[in-house]
């Protein structure tokens, strides 16, 4: 696939690096083109500015910038992103591990509104960048699961394929209207992991003990 990466931070490096090693044609774009070039050199990709990354990402574009900059960046690229699968991995987490988007819309829905022609999928926001450097991310013999929220069937299938390229399993989390739940889950888990220093995975029982919540 041709994948554009908008951003040059830790998430951009981790995911872009794994996809480049999987054989995809990756171009990293950042406002600081020198930093983008250095990152591209480290991971075996090409480099440019955000517009070139969006143009390059015929199959998928990863939005890997801080949430506070996300809608501004996407709005500036809106025309180029028309028809593109746009993966939003941002987390709108405020001090105190609360959501900056409390009351809605979600970060993903705001990104979609900023680029109405893009096909937005929320994914990859539950884990620290260090997890995505693992090849593969397998814990206790179980591959990491990656929940996805989106409305476009083709975009979701593209992202499922990219999840599998990381050695992970894609889970259907519902439409983009459920992205707020995924973002709230991230805020809650980060609060437990970072704020309390506890193993957040221990809060969920195994499937056979989950019961019915219908």
pLDDT of amino acid 213: 56
pLDDT of residue 214: 54
pLDDT reported for residue 204: 87
Residue 45: its pLDDT value, please? 98
Which H or E element spans position 80?
none
- Residue 206 has a pLDDT of 84
- On whether the CB atoms of residues 158 and 194 are closer than 8 A, the answer is no
Q: Mean pLDDT per 10-residue run, the chain (214 residues)?
A: 98 98 98 97 98 98 97 98 98 93 96 98 97 95 97 98 98 98 96 92 86 62
Nearest 5°: phi and psi at 176? -65, -20
How far is 167 from 87, CA to CA, in rounded Å? 18
Name the DSSP class of 202: G
| Cα–Cα dist 67/88, whole Å | 10
Q: Please tell me the predicted confidence (pLDDT) of residue 201.
A: 86
The answer to whether the peptide bond before residue 136 is cis (omega within 30 degrees of 0) is yes
Task: Give the whole-angstrom CA distance, residue 97 versus residue 155.
Answer: 30
Looking up tokens 């969920």 gives 204
How far is the C-alpha of 49 from the C-alpha of 51, rounded, in Å? 6
Which pLDDT score is estimated for 30? 97
């Amino acid at each position: 696939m041709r994948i554009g990466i908008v951003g040059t931070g830790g998430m951009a490096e981790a995911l872009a690096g794994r996809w480049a090693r999987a054989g995809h044609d990756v171009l990293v774009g950042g406002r600081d083109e020198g930093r983008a070039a250095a990152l591209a050199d480290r991971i075996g990709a090409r480099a440019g500015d955000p517009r070139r990354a969006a143009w390059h990402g015929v199959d998928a574009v990863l939005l890997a910038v801080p949430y506070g900059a996300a809608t501004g960046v996407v709005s500036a690229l809106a025309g180029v992103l028309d028809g593109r699968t746009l993966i939003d991995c941002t987390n709108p987490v405020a001090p105190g591990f609360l959501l900056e988007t409390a009351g809605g819309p979600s970060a993903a829905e705001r990104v979609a509104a900023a680029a109405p022609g893009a096909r937005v999928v929320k994914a990859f926001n539950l884990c620290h960048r260090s997890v995505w450097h693992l090849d593969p991310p397998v814990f206790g013999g179980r591959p990491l699961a990656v929940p996805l929220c989106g409305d476009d069937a083709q975009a979701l299938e593209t992202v499922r394929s990219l999840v599998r390229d990381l050695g992970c399993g894609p889970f259907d989390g519902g439409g983009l209207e459920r992205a707020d739940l995924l973002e709230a889950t991230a805020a809650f888990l980060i609060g437990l992991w970072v704020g309390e220093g506890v193993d957040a995975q221990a809060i969920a029982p195994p499937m056979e003990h989950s019961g019915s919540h219908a």
